[in-house]
Amino acid sequence: MDCFDQIIKTISLSMGAAWASGINLYATVFVLGILDATGNLVLPQGLEILSDPVVLWASGFMYCVEFFADKTPGVDSGWDAIHTFIRIPAGVMIAAGAVGDVNPSLALAAGILGGGLATGSHLTKSGSRLLINTSPEPFSNWTASILEDVLVIGGILTALHYPILFLMLLIGFICLIVWLLPKIWRGVKMLFAKIKSVFNKDAPRQIP
């Protein structure tokens, strides 16, 4: 039973960290690092570096930057676009590192699954925020950003303390994004089509 519990905890940590990285990488790294540094969590060998003071300062600083950038309409979408190339690879590495030195093939499998989760959570966040930015008022943007911060921190703590519950919720989240992402994608395409039509309408006509 102890072996089974350890496997469940490892899977929950691995997939939970990857999922959270797709939403807010710096909060994920900082929370995991702080928990390990304060003795509230023993990170696997592959993730021990997260509690290094240099990593903690860097992730804490970048979380502060993201906290304000993510709550500024327009800036948040540009921030998300740049972090497509950061959050997803980081999700792969964190998921693989959470498995530890158990087996290279298991680490690779965890990295693949973690990358998929990080991609799904990142696309859901960035796509929905892009649509929210069409609203002229900033309050919906602020609310979404704060809820995402709470979701990431709460999700990590749930993954650590209630792994079975977290994995059940994660399955529900996967079902949700399978249903939601096509709708977000259609909304994004309609948004860009409207922007394109506005520019085409305002463009000066060439006289033959």
Confidence of residue 37 (pLDDT cuts 50, 70, 90): very high
Q: Find tokens 């900082």 and name the residue.
A: 30
Confidence of residue 173 (pLDDT cuts 50, 70, 90): very high
User: Residue 80's CB: how many other CB atoms inside 10 A?
Assistant: 19
Confidence of residue 25 (pLDDT cuts 50, 70, 90): very high
pLDDT for residue 141 = 86
pTM above 0.75, yes or no: yes
pLDDT for residue 155 = 96
89/83 Cα distance (integer angstroms): 10
For the chain, give the longest Cα–Cα distance: 81
CA angle in degrees (0–180, nearest 5) for 43-47-50: 95
Higher pLDDT, residue 65 or 202: 65
Quick: pLDDT tens for 117-154.
Answer: 999 999 999 999 988 888 777 788 899 999 999 999 99
Average pLDDT over residues 20-49: 95
pLDDT for residue 193 = 82
Quick: pLDDT tens for 129-138.
Answer: 988 888 777 7
Mean per-residue pLDDT of the chain: 90
Least confident among 1-5, 68-72, 175-179 = 1-5
Name the residue among 71, 80, 175, 168 with its Cα closest to residue 127.
80
74/63 Cα distance (integer angstroms): 18
Give SS3 for 44: coil
Asked if 96 and 108 count as a contact pair (C-beta separation under 8 A), the reply is yes
pLDDT for residue 206 = 54
Q: How many helices (H) and strands (E) does the chain have?
A: 6, 0
Average pLDDT over residues 21-35: 97
pLDDT for residue 83 = 95
117/170 Cα distance (integer angstroms): 9
Structure tokens at 64: 């502060």
Quick: pLDDT tens for 44-60.
Answer: 988 999 999 999 999 99
pLDDT for residue 73 = 87
Q: What is the 3-state secondary structure (H, E, C) of 168-180?
A: HHHHHHHHHHHHH
Structure tokens at 120: 């799904």
